Amino acid sequence: MNIYLIVFALVLFFILIINKFKNIKKNKNNKLSKFKKKLLSKESNIEKIFSRDDEKTFSDPNININIGLYENEDNINRKSNIHRARLSKFKKSKLNGETIFIDPEKKIYKYINGKKKFI
């Protein structure tokens, strides 16, 4: 009787170990499939396009940044951060059709009729 219990316990132990290995393989495959889905999803492609556009806008201070009245807060924050970064890097940035400059004393100004107007 004791031999049957020991054999039964060993069989149960091996079954549990095999199930553990199957679950580990499934988790690895799930992580891989989630990564593939994210890589190939439409949302990730759209995010890549926006990030490329932001990089292009950031690298050229002559590209106009339009901030409209009805834009959501995230877009306004993103665009204003790009504008501030361009001001600090290039000492000028174009916002809503006006070129804004920053001088060495960190004063912000724009030209109106050939004269500096500090903001």
pLDDT tens digits, one per residue of 28-77: 667 777 777 777 777 777 777 778 888 888 888 888 888 888 888 988 89
pLDDT of residue 71: 87
Residue 41 gets which letter from DSSP?
S
Token reading at 17: 């170990």
Closest CA to 80 of 92, 67, 99, 69: 67
Token reading at 4: 């049957």
Closest CA to 65 of 91, 98, 110, 90: 98
SS3 state at 44? helix
Q: Which residue has 């988790």 as its token pair?
A: 27
pLDDT of 107 above 60: yes
What are the φ and ψ backbone dihedral angles of 48, each rounded to 5 degrees?
Answer: -65, -40
pLDDT of 6 above 70: yes
CA distance 21 to 84: 53
More confident residue, 22 or 81: 81
Number of CB atoms found within 10 A of residue 116's CB: 11
pLDDT of residue 22: 64
